[in-house]
Structure 1
Amino acid sequence: MSEYLTLPATAPAVVAHGKGDLRVDHVPLAEPAPDEAVIDIAYGGICGSDLHYWLHGAAGESILKDPMVLGHEVVGVVARAAADGTGPAVGTAVAVHPATPAAGAAKYPADRPNLSPGCTYLGSAARHPHTDGAFLRYANLPTRMLRPLPESLPLRLAALVEPASVAWHAVARAGDVRGKSVLVVGCGPIGTLAIAILKRAGAGHITAVDMHPLPLEIAVAVGADLALKAPEAEAVAAIEADVVIESSGNHFGLGTAISGATRGGRVVMVGLLPSGQQPVAISLAITRELELLGSFRFNEEIEEVITALADGSLFVDPVITHEYAANDALAAFDMAKNSAQSGKVLLNFSS
């Protein structure tokens, strides 16, 4: 690959224009800043937040005010190195850490930059002007975001690095899971990735709960010992899990998580519920002395994820169920919204 890529004037990008309005536009390409490398994007994974911007014109409190390039789960190859000499060389395969913690006086633990109140994320409308994502053929990205990938890790599988880092962070919040009984509620991509990570971490018994057969099949394929489809309340209460990972992102799932936890157990909430009040039987958490822990994004767990994927100790291949050319983004998003028929859906930008 040439040491200096002459960029085309425009490149195809997946852009959310508003509620129900998703387009593949040819967007103008700017020259990169001195600390930015040009990444030839190979794959992008469709995240729940991407779906929300398309379906609702908002993701939680982040409301689209202008058209925005989506995408933060991306991998690719350095096509032009940063002019300031930082970062990987041309031809290096990279994953992307999409967060930019905010400097300033706002209080948060120094070792947990994911909690920075002003943190921005690729493909996020939390701030205005919005932070464009990287669902486009050539993306200018700061070198601090780039994580070189081992040659043994295929780019297609590496597309799971970002969501697997979210799941890894959630499992880490649960503490030592070796030999413990674990319940995972919601077997979308984050839930199934968490199951694979729990299996690698030595969990004693993993129960997976979901509404649909396909997610449960994936859950078993990556390490769940028992799969339960929409269990009755009595069956949930009988699980008595030491640790619960709640990844459904709705109050019904959180209720299941609380009911399925043993007395004195720990519930990690990684599924992002809608803003506002939620009707959950929280009294059970009080009388059982449950520990309810939030889990939001990730920090440097991305390095451990890359290593585990590359050495084969983290088996997540079944989580990827569909791949579409980027030009077929609308069909890809339509599939990704159907959790009964899909796991992680990838966009291929090089096809």
Structure 2
Amino acid sequence: MLGCVIHGRGDLRVEVLAEPAPGPGEVLVAVRYGGICGSDLHYWRHGGVGDFRLREPMVLGHEVVGTVLAHGSPDPSGVSRGAEAAVHPATPCGACPECARGLRNVCRDARYLGSAARTPHVQGGFAARIVVPAAQVRPLPAGLPLRRAALAEPLSVALHAVRRAGPVAGRRVLVTGAGPIGCLVVAAAKAAGAARVTATDLLPAALGFARAAGADTTVLAGDPETAEDQAGRPPAEEADVAVEASGTAAGLDACLRGVRRGGTVVQLGMLPPGRSPFAGNLLVGREIELRGAFRFDAEFDDALGLLAARPAFDRLISAVAPVTEAESAFALAADRERSCKVLLDFES
């Protein structure tokens, strides 16, 4: 079978891998689609994500969906053979203090598909066949096609970030960064009842995807005079909540300056490794609450339900490429002038 293996910075290879067999409590999944994530692009372009650096070859990918082929024994999942399913990429340890407090998404000993956070690295899902714990397999809701279901993992990240902000119904939300995650934060905020969502980005094409996701206002970062509004109104002066989804210090600064006094800022984007400049005086003088958002937990099931109910999410899928063309697909996914979410197809 074919799989996408990263060997180091700029060294992505499509290799023939041995097909795995499920053991007790495991499920064998035939992967159909895998979404190329920002973290996959970071491993490819930089050899790491944040403070997580590659130390050995690793199969990439954690946004995967497919068909259940076989179970190990026993099978506690209840997912029948032949069922179309999505794979939750996280396996918390269940024993650390964070897991005991219900904070499974920040488990100190979690395993996450396609992650170099631990050594040996956790091999990912960009392979034609993968074996995962049965508890990570979720049957798709009725009416949800596999192609759209591939957005479940990044939408879960977005849902968790919005929930970290607290209630957003009837409130004004600012999202800095209109990449795939930022656009899904826009959609998640609108689904949660936000009165008005403003998205900012450096690229006009990205703002087009943000509007497709439901943004009421889009602003070209660095040029506030170019604010666009579907309803022809000027953007709100201040937001009640801001979500930083660009992973840049400039994006965080924009959130701190764009949120009202007593407002909440959620840092979702992974900042570059090391120290980042930070407008701490704004945090103090305006009593802004700054919260982090890392991955997700139970939001995965909510994401599948939301995707099933809203076909409009299809607009965020820019292209689907066969796995044999993985490198060109990664290049397309990295070009935000031309794409939002790019999927690999492991059956074509």
* Amino acid in structure 1 at the alignment position of 2:67: V
Other-structure match for 2:339: 342
Q: Please give the secondary structure, in 2, of the residue aligned with 1:327.
A: helix
Instruction: For residue 168 of structure 1, report the CA deviation from its aligned partner.
Output: 0.3
Equivalent residues in 2 for 1:181-192 (5 A)? 181-192=172-183
Aligned to 2:58: 68
Distance (whole Å) between structure 2 residues aligned to residue 24 and residue 346 of structure 1: 15
Name the aligned partner's letter for residue 273 of structure 2: S
Write the distance in 2 (CA, Å) between the matches of 1:89 and 1:196: 32
Secondary structure of 2:14's match? strand
**For the Cα contact (< 8 Å) 2:22–2:70, is it kept in 1?**
no
Q: Secondary structure at the match of 1:257?
A: helix
> 1: distance between equivalents of 2:113 and 2:12?
17
CA contact (8 A) 1:196 1:315 kept: no
Tell me which of 5, 16, 24 is aligned to 2:14: 24
Aligned pairs (5 A) from 1:273-312: 273-312=271-310
Give CA-to-partner distance per residue, 1:251-310, whole Å, 9 cap, x none: 011111111111111111111112221112221111111010100000101111111211
CA distance in 1, matches of 2:161, 2:100: 17
Runs of 4+ aligned residues of structure 1 deviating over 6 Å after TM superposition are 233-238
| In the alignment, structure 1 residue 140 sits paired with structure 2 residue 131 | yes
Q: Does 1:78 align with 2:47?
A: no
Aligned equivalent of 2:143: 152
Residue 235 to residue 117, structure 1, CA distance change in 2 (3 Å): farther
Change over 3 Å in CA distance of 1:234–1:285 after alignment to 2: farther
CA deviations on 1:229-252 (whole Å, 9 max, x unpaired) are: 114479999731001011000101
Instruction: Tell me how large the CA RMSD over aligned residues is.
Output: 1.8
Which of 144, 158, 168 aligns to 1:167? It is: 158
| Contact residue 220 and residue 226 of structure 2 kept, 8 A | no
In 2: Cα distance, 1:216 partner to 1:61 partner: 29
Tell me: CA distance 1:73–1:262, structure 2 relative to 1, closer, same or farther (3 Å): same
Can you list the C-alpha shifts for 1:187-236, whole angstroms capped at 9, x where unaligned?
Answer: 01111001111111111111110000111011111211111111447999
Equivalent position amino acid for 1:135 in 2:
F
Distance in 2 between the 1:232 and 1:51 partners?
28
Secondary structure of the residue aligned to 2:279 is coil
Q: Which moved more, 1:73-82 or 1:247-256?
A: 73-82
Structure 2 residue identity aligned to 1:253: G
Tell me, yes or no, if structure 1 residue 51 matches structure 2 residue 48. no
Partner SS state of residue 343, structure 2: strand
Q: Which whole-Å CA distance do the structure 1 matches of 2:24 and 2:87 have between them?
A: 18
Give aligned-pair identity as a percent: 46
Taking the aligned partners of 1:152 and 1:202, their CA distance within structure 2 comes to 24
Equivalent residue for 1:91? 82
Distance in 2 between residues matched to 1:268 and 1:102, nearest whole Å? 26
Q: Which residue is 1:3 aligned to? A: none
Q: Which of 210, 217, 221 pairs up with 1:230?
A: 221
TM-score by length of 2: 0.93
Amino acid paired to 2:33: Y
Aligned mates of 1:151, 1:69 — CA distance in 2: 30
Could you tell me how far 1:49 is from its partner in structure 2? 1.2
SS of residue paired to 1:23: strand
Q: Could you list the runs of 5+ residues in structure 2 that have no partner in the other structure?
A: 228-234
CA apart distance, 1:340? 2.4
Moved more, 316-325 or 156-165: 316-325
- Within 1, Cα distance between the matches of 2:297 and 2:20? 29
The Cα of 1:349 is off from its aligned counterpart by 0.8
Aligned residue for 1:210?
A: 201
C-alpha distance in 1, partners of 2:36/2:259?
Answer: 31
Q: 1:30 & 1:238 partners in 2: Cα distance?
A: 53
Residue 151 of structure 1, CA deviation: 3.0
TM-score (norm 1): 0.93
1:179 aligns with 2:174: no
Q: Which moved more, 1:105-114 or 1:238-247?
A: 105-114
Alignment correspondent of 1:333: 330
Deviation for aligned residue 1:146: 0.5
Q: Tell me, what secondary structure is at the counterpart of 1:298?
A: coil
In the alignment, structure 1 residue 323 sits paired with structure 2 residue 320 = yes
In 1: Cα distance, 2:49 partner to 2:6 partner: 12
Name the SS of the counterpart of 1:316 in structure 2.
Answer: helix
Structure 1 residues 251-260 or 75-84, which shifts more?
75-84
Uncovered stretches (5+) of structure 1, i.e. residues with no partner = 1-10
Query: One-letter code of the match for 1:139?
Result: I
Deviation at 1:109, TM superposition (A): 5.7
Is this contact kept in 2: 1:46–1:344, CA < 8 A?
Answer: yes
